[in-house]
Every structure is written in structure tokens, then in C-alpha cells.
């Protein structure tokens, strides 16, 4: 009789639900992480059977991985549509002519995948779609009556990263949502920008992420104001600073972060410029220790190569040069540290002994703090020698003074003056005020009420969908595996019969499973003939929010043990209340 009932239940479930049984899932879990996986999200997504590597920076999404991606995409679509955006799909293969027209064909450099068709026509694989969308709008929008517009897509993007790493965090192929706004003027752009800013907050909140919007650099995308949405994680590639005062609100990526320069208040009589021997002392630590001075007294001179020639950049010895700021100050597309041979040829000394005094035939750009220094130490452009009592304005005059230093913890906030704090983050989204950068370059205009042709004001808004999945794992895990937020979990509940060979347990497990499915709960049944410990270990690794355990006690008492992955607690729920409990749990979390 029990065998008959069991077969009948199997037949009743034969309507597509069988695909949700673990025995039929492609779920290749691993006990050990591959050696290439450096960070926890890469390790766990591989071990839990969510992704598999196809090539460097290129991954296949397995069934559970795709389910998470589809959950994130659904949240993104709901929030975009809520703001009146319309979804489209644009081509991945983009003609080079559009990129040359915008001036970005060479800006992207080697990160741009370039290819030719059989006729020799040159294309690229789209890393982003500003050119394509602007070309569409210039051909389809003529009147102010057609504005504003919000158009978006969710699609694969391609960037030939020099060093793809960290799994889905920095790949060469990835899924992104990109939206573009088109307005009559900057006031309209501000409205669209705030719509997307607020929508992004809701998206990442719904995905269960702890994040912070920060001011950022616009990079190759261009435009004026931009914010990145950073998921805070110790393994994040990006470094951000934020004000220690919660009511201030200042936060920025270090590429963009600013801090006021502390003006020198104590007058120090300029000393006599003097060359001193510093045999073999080339690093900041070695020189300052040898001369018994603080790193703040040293002028660090670094030589860079740009497409406009070589340049020498100066910062204080305790500072790091912010290369993004330097590049912007110089107005160049490329800025790389010069190699040792070039340094010796241009300065006359080995690396570690270059300095601004007497450095000829080089453009000299100094950080703002350098100009506040007095009686400083610098390289003497001679091996094993440094100058002491170096004073800007007397001993050297830079061609340019700019903010070049990387802001760090302890520096004053540019808004309220309180100390800044540091954190690491993973960028999962960014919003840009493009303004007229692309509309003017590509001639995307509209006619106003008086018939005048006016450039369209644009914005660009991106979310890394695959990166959001990885960032969630970085924030939500423990030593046993992933802890998915309910909103993006591949399944909300796992039903686990302790012993599938015990008919009573299996029949009850299938009954609970079917009850959940009929109630709209995303559930999966672990019907494998494995030991309970194996099933529990896999469940922890994969990260199902709820685990419903069907054992001897459940059969005898009709009480179901429910394990909550997030807090590790197990509670007992009567069978007749199990559906309402699971549904309430999924709504509340």
C-alpha cells in the first residue's frame, strides 16, 4: 500500500515539478575550492555548483546560478519599470564608426574587444552602449514632445581585462543592466538621475545587500557627476572613504575623494640647500630613517610616461599618488610609471634618487600639499645623494599644481572637517550625468517649441548583475557555505527526508513539498539516496534559506523541524502550519 501511495504521489508531481528535485538538478558540488579561486565568492560559487569556468574571466552559469541571476534581473526590471523606463535590446556587435565618432575608439584601448567581418569592416564587442543608443535616438527623436525618455536593457557585456580575476567580480564577459536617460536640459537630467539613484537604493536593499553610494570618477564613460554603489566587503577591489559623522553623508571612491589641504601655520626659516650622501637609501623608509626625519618631510618624485611625453609628479613622502587624479590633471588618456632605464636616463640617477631640484626637460606637476612644505628632503638626481632644506618656490617651481594625492583615513572631510574613515567595497552599480558629451559628438538633437535644434541631455546608469550575485556571497556566508537572502535565493526552501528508503518519511516529505509548491513557494526536494549528513552539508554549502527536515519524529508527531540558514536556529512547526510559516518567513526577511 505504501509503495502504491508513493508511486501515486510521483505521478501527481509529474507536471514539471520533478525538475525541482535534487536528483535531477545539474548540481556538481565540490568539497574543495579550485586553487585559482582567491576570494570567498569565487570559491563558494564554484564549490556550490553555481558557475563553471570556460576561459579566463569567462564563466558558464549553471542552473542554480542562472536562477539567482534571474531573481536579480526581475528585481531590476520591476524597479526600472516602476520609474517609467522601457526595455529594449541593442546589438552586442557595434560598428567602429560610431566609437570613432564619439572619440572613444582609442580611449578604451586594449580593453575593447575588436574584430573584423569578412568584408574587412571593423567592429567591437560592446563594453557599454552609449554610442549605439545615441545613434538610435538621433534618428528617432525629433521633437521636445518625445522627451524625456528612459531606455534600458539587460545584456552581456565584454571587456578584455588585462588581469581577469575574482571570478564574477572582474570578468571579461558579464551581464549588466544599462539604462540611458534623454532629457531636454540639465534640470530634466537631474530628475532622471535622482529617479535612478533612488531606484538603485531600492534594488540593492531588495537584494539584501549592505551598500553605500559614493562619489566616483567617471572614467572612460565621461560626464560630470557620478556615484558608485559599493557593497562593503573586505575583499573589495575598491577603496572608499566616508565621513565619521553619520549626519554628514560624505563618501567617495579614493579615485575621486578630496580633502582640504592643511595650510602651514608655523613659519620655518628656510635653510641652506645642501646635498647629503645617502648611500643605498632609496625608499621613503630608508631615507627618512637614515636622515632622522618624518616621511612628511620628504618630497617623493615619480616619473610617468604619457602619450604627451614624460612628466614628473611630486607628493609628500607619506602620500600615495592618485593616478586617476594625475591623469585628469595632465589631460591625458594614458599614464604609466616609467621603467628604471627611463628614470635613469631622464633624471641622471637610479630609481629612488630623482628630485625636483634641477630636473630639466620634464613637465613638473606638484600636489597641493607639496607647496606647503618647508625645508624638505628630495632626491638630488644623483646616485646615493639627496638634498635637504628644499623649499618650493625657491629651489623649484612646478609647471602645474593640482590635487594628486590619494585621500586616506584620518584626513579631514571636505564637507564638515571630521576625520574620514576607510572601507573596501565591490562596485555593483554606477550612475552618470553624461550631459551633452555624446549628443553633441553624435549630433543627437531635438527641436524645441520655437523650432531651435538643441542637444539632448543624457545620463547613463549601469548595474552589474553577475557582479551583484558575487557581491551578495561576499557579504552573506559562513564557514559552511553561502547564506542567500530570500529575495535572490535559487530556492526558498529545501525539503530533506532523512532516510529516503523509509516510505513514511519519503511520502511525508513529498506531501510537504507539494504543499509548498501549490502555495507558490519555491521549493526543492532532496530525494537522493544519500546520508543525511551529506544532504545537510550540501544544503549549507548551497545556502537555501530554509531546510525542512522530515525524519522519524516528523512522521510520528506531524511536527516539522525547520532549520533557518541565516541564524542557524532550528524550530519545530506543526504540519498544518508549515505552509503559512514558510510563506511568512519569506515575506519578512
Q: What is the CATH number of the domain that holds 534?
A: 3.40.50.800
The pTM is what? 0.86
Cell of residue 317, nine digits: 613622502
CA-nearest of 476, 461, 426, 481 to 170 is: 426
In sign, the C-alpha dihedral spanning 390, 391, 397, 401 is: positive
Is the Cα dihedral 324, 123, 151, 487 positive or negative? negative
Place of cell 562593503: 232
143 and 80 share one domain: yes
Q: For residue 74, which of 376, 406, 465 has the smallest C-alpha distance?
A: 465
What is the reported pLDDT for 138? 97
Query: Is the same domain home to 284 and 158?
Result: no
Q: Does 9 fall in a domain?
A: yes
* Overall average pLDDT of the 383-407 stretch: 95
Average pLDDT over residues 31-40: 90
Residue 67: predicted pLDDT = 97
Same domain? 83 vs 154: yes
| 382 in a structural domain | yes
Q: Is the pLDDT of residue 225 over 70?
A: yes
Name the grid cell of 150.
528612459
Domain end residue (candidates: 473, 502, 531): 473
> Grid coordinates standing for 37?
579561486
Overall domain count for the chain: 3
Q: Report the distance separating Cα 535 and Cα 501, nearest Å.
A: 15
Cell of 241: 572613504
pLDDT for residue 146:
97
Residue 326 is part of which domain span? 274-402
86 and 14 inside one domain: no
Residues 436 and 444: beta-carbon distance below 8 Å: no
- The answer on pLDDT for 7 being more than 90 is no
d(CA 55, CA 386): 49
CATH number for the domain spanning 465: value is 3.30.930.10
- For range 4-12, the mean pLDDT: 44
Task: Please indicate, yes or no, if residue 484 is contained in any of the structural domains.
Answer: no
Kindly state whether residue 333 falls inside one of the protein's structural domains.
Answer: yes
What percentage of the chain has pLDDT greater than the value 90? 84
Q: Which of 367, 402, 437 is the last residue of a domain?
A: 402
Residues 315 and 206 both lie in one domain: no
pLDDT of residue 9: 44
Q: What is the mean pLDDT of residues 390-398?
A: 95
C-beta neighbour count of 449 within 10 angstroms: 8
Residue with cell 579614493: 254
Q: Does some domain include residue 179?
A: yes
Beta strand 363-367 with 309-316: parallel, antiparallel or unpaired?
A: parallel
Amino acid at each position: 500500500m505504501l509503495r502504491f501511495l508513493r508511486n501515486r504521489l510521483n505521478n501527481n508531481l509529474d507536471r514539471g515539478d520533478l525538475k525541482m528535485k535534487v536528483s535531477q538538478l545539474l548540481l556538481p558540488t565540490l568539497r574543495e575550492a579550485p586553487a585559482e579561486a582567491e576570494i570567498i565568492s569565487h570559491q563558494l560559487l564554484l564549490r556550490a555548483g553555481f558557475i563553471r569556468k570556460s576561459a579566463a574571466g569567462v564563466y558558464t552559469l549553471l542552473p542554480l546560478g542562472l536562477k539567482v541571476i534571474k531573481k536579480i534581473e526581475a528585481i531590476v526590471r520591476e524597479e526600472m519599470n516602476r520609474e517609467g523606463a522601457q526595455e529594449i535590446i541593442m546589438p552586442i556587435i557595434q560598428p567602429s564608426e560610431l566609437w570613432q565618432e564619439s572619440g572613444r575608439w582609442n580611449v578604451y584601448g586594449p580593453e575593447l574587444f575588436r574584430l573584423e567581418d569578412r568584408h574587412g569592416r571593423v567592429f567591437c564587442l560592446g563594453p557599454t552602449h552609449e554610442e549605439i543608443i545615441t545613434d538610435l535616438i538621433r534618428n528617432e527623436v525629433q521633437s521636445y514632445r518625445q522627451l524625456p525618455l528612459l531606455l534600458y536593457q539587460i545584456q552581456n557585456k565584454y571587456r578584455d581585462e588585462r588581469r581577469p580575476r575574482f571570478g564574477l567580480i572582474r570578468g571579461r564577459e558579464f551581464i549588466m543592466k544599462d539604462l540611458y536617460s534623454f532629457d531636454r536640459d540639465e534640470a530634466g537630467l537631474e530628475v532622471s538621475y535622482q529617479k535612478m539613484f533612488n531606484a538603485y537604493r531600492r534594488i540593492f536593499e531588495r537584494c539584501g545587500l549592505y551598500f553605500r553610494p559614493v562619489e566616483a570618477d567617471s572614467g572612460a564613460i565621461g560626464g560630470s557627476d557620478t556615484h558608485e554603489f559599493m557593497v562593503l566587503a573586505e575583499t573589495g577591489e575598491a577603496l572608499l572613504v566616508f565621513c565619521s559623522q553619520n549626519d554628514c553623508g560624505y563618501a567617495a571612491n579614493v579615485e575621486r575623494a578630496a580633502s582640504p589641504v592643511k595650510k602651514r601655520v608655523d613659519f620655518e626659516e628656510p635653510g641652506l640647500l645642501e646635498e647629503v650622501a645617502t648611500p643605498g637609501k632609496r625608499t621613503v623608509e630608508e631615507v627618512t630613517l637614515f636622515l632622522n626625519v618624518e616621511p612628511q618631510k620628504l618630497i617623493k618624485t615619480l616619473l610617468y610616461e604619457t602619450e604627451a611625453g614624460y612628466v614628473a609628479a611630486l607628493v609628500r613622502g607619506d602620500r600615495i599618488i592618485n593616478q586617476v587624479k594625475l591623469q585628469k590633471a595632465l589631460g591625458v588618456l594614458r599614464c604609466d610609471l616609467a621603467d628604471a632605464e627611463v628614470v635613469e636616463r631622464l633624471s641622471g640617477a637610479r630609481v629612488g634618487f630623482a628630485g625636483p631640484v634641477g630636473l630639466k626637460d620634464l613637465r613638473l606637476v606638484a600636489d597641493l600639499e607639496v607647496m606647503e612644505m618647508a625645508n624638505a628632503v628630495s632626491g638630488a638626481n644623483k646616485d646615493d645623494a639627496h638634498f635637504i632644506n628644499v623649499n618650493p618656490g625657491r629651489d623649484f617651481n612646478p609647471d602645474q599644481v593640482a590635487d594628486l594625492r590619494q585621500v586616506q583615513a584620518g584626513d579631514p572631510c571636505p564637507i564638515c572637517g571630521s576625520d574620514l574613515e576607510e572601507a573596501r567595497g565591490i562596485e555593483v552599480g554606477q550612475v552618470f550625468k553624461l550631459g551633452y558629451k555624446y549628443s553633441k559628438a553624435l549630433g543627437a538633437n531635438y527641436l524645441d517649441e520655437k523650432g531651435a535644434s538643441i542637444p539632448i541631455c543624457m545620463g547613463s546608469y549601469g548595474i552589474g548583475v553577475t557582479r551583484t550575485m558575487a557581491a551578495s556571497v561576499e557579504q552573506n556566508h559562513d564557514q559552511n557555505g553561502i547564506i542567500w537572502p530570500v529575495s535572490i535565493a535559487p530556492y526558498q526552501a529545501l525539503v530533506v527526508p532523512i532516510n529516503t528508503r523509509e516510505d513514511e518519511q519519503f511520502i511525508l516529505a513529498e506531501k510537504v513539498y507539494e504543499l509548498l509548491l501549490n502555495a507558490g513557494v519555491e521549493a526543492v526536494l532532496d530525494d537522493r539516496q544519500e546520508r543525511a549528513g551529506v544532504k545537510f552539508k550540501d544544503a549549507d554549502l548551497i545556502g537555501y534559506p530554509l531546510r525542512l527536515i522530515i525524519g522519524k519524529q516528523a512522521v510520528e508527531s506531524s511536527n516539522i523541524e525547520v532549520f533557518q540558514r541565516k541564524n542557524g536556529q532550528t524550530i519545530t512547526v506543526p504540519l498544518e502550519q508549515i505552509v503559512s510559516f514558510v510563506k511568512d518567513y519569506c515575506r519578512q526577511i
